[in-house]
Amino acid sequence: MVEDTNGSVLMGMIWMFIISLLLFWLPGLGSLIAGIVGGKQAGGVMAGLMAALLPGLLVAAALFFAGTMLTTLPIVGALLAGSGLLLYIVYLPPLIIGALIGGLLA
**Domain range annotation of the chain:** 9-105
For residues 53-64, give the mean pLDDT: 76
Measured CA to CA, the distance from residue 17 to residue 58 in angstroms comes to: 13
Q: What kind and span of H or E run contains 50?
A: helix 45-71
For residues 29-41, give the mean pLDDT: 92
For residues 81-105, give the mean pLDDT: 84
Instruction: Indicate if the pLDDT at residue 40 is higher than 90.
Output: yes
- Predicted TM-score of the model (pTM): 0.74
pLDDT of amino acid 5: 60
Instruction: Indicate if the pLDDT at residue 33 is higher than 90.
Output: yes
